[in-house]
Structure 1
Amino acid sequence: MRARQEEGPLTRVRLWDGSTPWLVTGHAEHRAVLGHPKVSVQPANGIPRLSPSEAAAMESMAAAERAEKKSAGGTSFIMMDDPEHARLRRMVTSAFTVKRVEAMRPATQKIADDLIDAMLAGPKPGDLVEAFALPLPSLVISNLLGVPYDDHELFQANSRTIINRNSTPEQRGQAQQRLTGYLDGLIEEKLAKPGDDLLSGLVERVEAGEVSRQEAARMGVLMLFAGHETTANMITLGTLALLQHPDQLALLRDGDDPKLITTAVEELLRYLTITHGGLRRVALEDIEIAGQVIKAGEGIVVVNETANRDPSVFPDPDRLDLRRNARLHVTFGYGVHQCLGQPLARMELQVAYLALLRRVPTLALAADVEQIPFKHDGFVYGAYELPVTW
């Protein structure tokens, strides 16, 4: 991909089906495309499909929408354009403000400390994914949504199926249906007995007629899925990256600058960029980006990881530097569709890395990197296991 970037920030690429969408690898061009009001995210408008299985899955989704005769109930709001996207997104935005998220920091710290206590009392070596990286964000998002953590195996297993590149459209659709049915059941419970949680807030919207029950369930699926899967992989890979760069690890573990964890998390987000699938878009009208005219109907693939390694924005981009000002990274996307839960993810990562490194100062890998089972089959990169000792 670096070779593509050197060809120019905006080039053509040929996909499996013979289509030739635009490939965006430059940082400025990335933001220009994602921030353009005439660029669509809706599959029905013809966004590129990166594989036959994805194309089949998109068609299956479209068929389901046609059968339901209501497009809003059949897809996630992250795959809608404004104004419908903005209408639904506004219903949950307040739960993810910086102020609300900061109020959750003490509870998140307690979760992290409890998990570390259990890990230290357990077998050594241990698996950091199972002991810490996956349960921490799963517990946090469960508490925020009002989802029983006892059901974590259900939503974690189905989430893995959805993001696995090798899942068939049928398997992915069934997993989506199981999660939607599960969230719909919780919504039914909260209609009878609401609580002080995000799902109960959506139930109020359902009762007011502002959103359908189907839409509310799908919104719940999105937040439950995104709220644990990506953060768990970032905790895992971020810890691995730090263990592979002991000088950078020491800055966090032994330093006394309270602001360093903030810049460290931004740099790890930039350096790792775990969403490697590319963001797909389509031009609704002729637009000009980087001196090139993208014509109406032409597809666009926006690549996060190359934008985050654009040397014009991040000098020496392949080097992990926790003191770097990496706030311009595009790991969470850009524009109206940038990640809704990014304040929550940042807070969780800040808590997780500091808790691990300072509570377990002798933390070390318990296997060669070549033996670690990485998620090469997923739309979100990570590791299935991370053997560690102390």
Structure 2
Amino acid sequence: MGRQGQDVVALVAQQLEGWAQSLGFSQIGVADVDLRAAEQGLLDWLAAGFHGEMAYMQSHGLKRARPAELVPGTVRVVTARMDYLPRGAEEGWTEREWKRLAAPGQATVSIYARGRDYHKVLRQRLQALADRIAEVAGPFGHRVFTDSAPVLEAELATRSGIGWRGKHTLALSREGGSMFFLGEVYVDLPLPVTPPAEAHCGRCTACLDVCPTRAIIAPYRLDARRCISYLTIEHPGPIPEALRPLMGNRVYGCDDCQLVCPWNKYARRSPLPDFDEREPLGGASLLELWAWSEDEFLRRTEGSPIRRIGHVRWRRNLAVAMGNAIAAGDVAALALREALADVRDSSDALVREHIDWALTQQAP
């Protein structure tokens, strides 16, 4: 690279953080593309079948750990962190979430999914970041990723200093906990890399201990087939009966391992309105959500990540939660039974199976 090219790269590196902050990102980093040290762990995880029915995790082979093969010409990966805790989250927000989880008749939706679909928010802003780079560097090879391709996000986040990989396998930051999204821009510019992050979990095992389904089978090792986020979002078929009682009132995703993490006392509110809670996702009852027709489900979830699971899986998840509320002796148990029975015969076969299970539940 000539002197002029070096000067351009240095100028981009100097302005990168400022551009990122102006676009709503909390932190920016740059990683190299040598991820060979992560390859064996990925292969072992896939060989154990821990990815469940997420075939896309396996279909790209080791391209997940080889950015230059996934996008030829890539020499660096720009990583970005975007906080998603809603602007209106009050002090003691974790206590509020625990109280909701302890109220069987209420529905719990993962915090990140109560606002706008993060894929859209990050993709647009990462592309805007790439456009800023191009204004200085001229046309350059790049590709934007937001949980949309075989990318080892947590590994890249660790290598670029965004955070370290927590024992729950999520990225953790000393300044922002884990309540953030990650995005990447693969670039063909030899930007200077940022120092990697050091781990600060110590002896803490809170995330392993709290997991309702014991999906975190060991530090840094997750069996997705047991994870409530996987079961309620990625898993297309019947939820294993043994796991249904452990799901409680979680109808989309699960935040337990994040709620219990001591580092999330530093979780930051998002500066963007995109992640504000949409009504009624932060405070609905199971009966209220069960009453949604498919048309209402589509209307209520427009622009939301929830929409992609479809109405059938949504009802499947609700039926499990309603069965758990009945088993817990919730005050609305009779109304829950009636609501389930009323639509049992007209429901999709997958939903009907879970309704039948829910109707067999009895309070102790």
TM-score of Structure 1 vs Structure 2, range by shorter chain: under 0.3
Higher helix proportion (structure 1 or 2): 1
Q: TM-score, normalised by structure 2?
A: 0.25
| Bigger RCO of structures 1 and 2 (CA < 8 A, at least 6 apart) | 1
